[in-house]
Amino acid sequence: MVQLEQNYDVVIAGAGAAGLYAALHLPPTLRVLVLAKREATLCNSALAQGGIAGVWNSPDDNIELHANDTRIAGAFTNNPKTLHILVSEAARDIEQLVEYGVDFDKNADGDFDRTLEGGHCRRRIFHYRDSTGAEILRGLLAQTANLPNVTISEYTVMSRALKTETGFSVELLRGLTSDETLSRDVVDCHFLIMATGGIGRVYEYTTNSAIATGDGIRIAYELGARIKNLSLIQFHPTAFNNRHTRECFLISEAVRGEGAYLRNCNMERFMQRYDDRLELAPRDVVSHAIILESQRTGSRDFWLDISHEDPEEVKARFPKIYGKLMEQGYDLTKEPVPVYPCQHYLMGGIDVNSNAQTRVDRLYACGECAHTGVHGNNRLASNSLLEALVFSRRAAQEIAKEASDIGPRFARAEFPEITATEPIPHGIRTELRKILQENYFVIPNTENMRAAYERVTELIQLIACEDWKMDLDYLEAKSQATCAYLILEEQL
C-alpha cells in the first residue's frame, strides 16, 4: 500500500472516470490523493460498453440536436444551463481523451466510427468495440501515473468526513483485502471531491459494480450537502437474465442500435404496442414496455434477438458481449438471449451547480454520485461518461481558482471513537435490497411505499446506534440504508 501524507490540498474519493479526470485537470502545484475502495479497475466506468456521446467533427450533427435528444429522453426536465455546458463542451473532452491515447474505433476512411443508440437521432457515440469504459479508464490511469503530484491509494475506503475551518478531515480504512490488515488513517484536506459513482448495490439486481453502495452520497448528506432526485433511477431494459446473479451483465443498447429485436415469451416482437420508435425508444420507455408486456402475457421471459444480422459483423462489433454470452451458453449470432430490466443508473445525487460545487464550502461532487440536472428524468444513453468528464474538469478548474487564496494550514477534526467489536447483524443489507427491488422498481409499488419507508427508517435506527464494528459491511449498510431512505422519502 502507498504511504500517505497527513494532509493533501485535494482528496478525491473515487478513481473512476470522474475522479481521475478531475485529478488530471488540477494544477500540478496541488497535492492530490485519489481513493479507490478496491482496485482502481473495479468501478462502473470500467463496465461501460456502448460509448461516449458527443458532437465533434460531425458535419451532419450539431449540439442543438444532441441537446434536443437529451431533453426528449429527460422529459424536458433537464437543467438548461448544465445541459448546454454538457453538449457544447463534449468536443473538447472527447478530443482530450484522444490526446491521452484512448483508442476509439475508426472506420475504413480513418474517421471515428460513431454508433447509434436508443434516443439519439444521429450516429454520435464514440466507442472502443463494446468496452469503451475500460479503454477510457486505461487511458486515464496511464495518464495519471505520469503525474508526480497525484497519489492513487487503492483498497482505501473513505468511511467518514468532518468539516474543519480549513476544509475537511477524512477518515480512511485501508487494506480491505483482509480484515486482519485493516488500518485506520485520517488525512486533512482543503478540498474534497466526491466521485464515488452509483448506488446499484442498493438493489437486488443491478448492472453496477460492487463498489456502488452510495458511500459518497451518504457522507455528503452527513456533511450537510443537499441530495436531490435520488429516486430518479434508470432501469436498463436488457440485462442478461440468468435469474441468479446479483450483478447482471449488461447487453448494451448499441446491440439494438445495430438492429436487434426484442421478443416476448411467444417470441413475438412487441414494442409496436408501446412506442413508434420500437426497440430504439429511450431505455425507460423500453423497460416500462417490458413490464407492461409481462403483465399482459403473464410471463417474465423476454429475449433480445440479433441472429438476423451478419454473424461476423456482430462478433466484430460486440466481442465482449459475444464472449460473455458464449460463457453462459448463448450464441448471440445464432439465437435470442434472455433479458430483463434491472437497476442501472442514478440520475439524482449530490446536488451541484455548473462547477460541481455543493452547498457545503469546498465540497465538490461529480460523476454518477452528483446531480447536475443534465439528464432530467431519464438519462440518454452514453451521456453519463460525458457528464463525468465535463463536470469533473469544471470542478478541477474551479478548485484551481479557489486554491490560490488558501493558506498552508490544515485543521484537524476529531472523529467520535467507535470501539464496538460486534459485527452488524446479518441480513440487514439483504433486506434493504429486497425492499427497494420490490417497492421501487420500473413501476413503483405505491400501495406499499409508506410501509417500505417505515421499515427502512427502523433499519437506519438499528444501524445508527453505533454499537457495531466499524468494517466495510457496516459502512456499506449505512450508505445503502441512507440511500434507500432518501429514495423512498421522495416518493411519499
The verdict on 157 binding ligand FAD (CB under 6 A) reads yes
- Interface with ligand FAD: number of residues (CB under 6 A): 41
The verdict on 45 binding ligand FAD (CB under 6 A) reads yes
What gap in Å lies between CA 186 and CA 138, rounded to an integer?
29
The verdict on 173 binding ligand FAD (CB under 6 A) reads no
The verdict on 18 binding ligand FAD (CB under 6 A) reads yes
139 vs 293 by CB, closer to ligand FAD: 139
Residue 4 DSSP code: P
The verdict on 133 binding ligand FAD (CB under 6 A) reads yes
What gap in Å lies between CA 272 and CA 267, rounded to an integer?
14
36 vs 452 by CB, closer to ligand FAD: 36
Q: Is 422 exposed, middle or buried (0-12, 13-18, 19+ CB in 10 A)?
A: exposed
Q: Which amino acid is at 120?
A: H
Enumerate residues 194-253 that contact ligand FAD by CB under 6 A: 195-197, 207-208, 211, 215-216, 250
Enumerate residues 455-484 that contact ligand FAD by CB under 6 A: none
For 174-207, letters b (16+ CB in 10 Å) and e give: bebeeeeebeeebbbbbbbbbbbbbbbbbbbbbb
Region of residue 259 (phi > 0: left; psi between -120 and 50: alpha; otherwise: beta): left
Q: Which of 32, 51, 187, 281 binds ligand FAD (CB under 6 A)?
A: 51
What gap in Å lies between CA 148 and CA 61, rounded to an integer?
40
Stretch that binds ligand FAD, among 49-57, 220-228, 256-264, 285-293 (CB under 6 A): 49-57
The verdict on 390 binding ligand FAD (CB under 6 A) reads no
The verdict on 287 binding ligand FAD (CB under 6 A) reads no
183 vs 295 by CB, closer to ligand FAD: 183
240 vs 440 by CB, closer to ligand FAD: 240
Q: Concatenated DSSP letters for 89-110?
A: HHHHHHHHHHHTT----B-TTS
What gap in Å lies between CA 198 and CA 318, rounded to an integer?
25
**Residue 296 Cα distances to 266, 267, 291, angstroms:** 12, 14, 9
314 vs 452 by CB, closer to ligand FAD: 314
306 vs 452 by CB, closer to ligand FAD: 306
What minimum distance in Å lies between the beta carbon of 387 and ligand FAD? 8
CA torsion, ordered 23, 25, 30, 32, to nearest 10 deg:
0
The verdict on 70 binding ligand FAD (CB under 6 A) reads no
Site mask for ligand FAD (CB under 6 A), range 293-312, x = bound: --------------------
What gap in Å lies between CA 191 and CA 285, rounded to an integer?
40
Q: Which of 234, 384, 439, 482 binds ligand FAD (CB under 6 A)?
A: 384
Q: Which of 19, 119, 237, 373 binds ligand FAD (CB under 6 A)?
A: 19
Stretch that binds ligand FAD, among 31-39, 142-150, 268-276, 277-285 (CB under 6 A): 31-39
Stretch that binds ligand FAD, among 41-49, 280-288, 430-438, 444-452 (CB under 6 A): 41-49
Are the C-beta atoms of 239 and 249 separated by less than 8 Å?
yes
208 vs 264 by CB, closer to ligand FAD: 208
What minimum distance in Å lies between the beta carbon of 405 and ligand FAD? 28
Residues with catalytic function: 283
Are the C-beta atoms of 55 and 124 separated by less than 8 Å?
yes
Of 369, 8, 366, 3, give the one whose Cα is nearest residue 153. 3
117 vs 305 by CB, closer to ligand FAD: 117
What minimum distance in Å lies between the beta carbon of 250 and ligand FAD? 4
What gap in Å lies between CA 365 and CA 351, rounded to an integer?
8
The verdict on 338 binding ligand FAD (CB under 6 A) reads no
What gap in Å lies between CA 261 and CA 312, rounded to an integer?
18
Q: β-pairing, 156-164 with 167-174?
A: antiparallel
Q: Concatenated DSSP letters for 382-443?
A: T-HHHHHHHHHHHHHHHHHHHHTT--S----PPPPP----SPPPTTHHHHHHHHHHHHSSSS
Contact residues toward ligand FAD (CB under 6 A) are 13-19, 35-38, 43-45, 47-52, 132-133, 157-158, 195-197, 207-208, 211, 215-216, 250, 345, 367-368, 382-385, 388
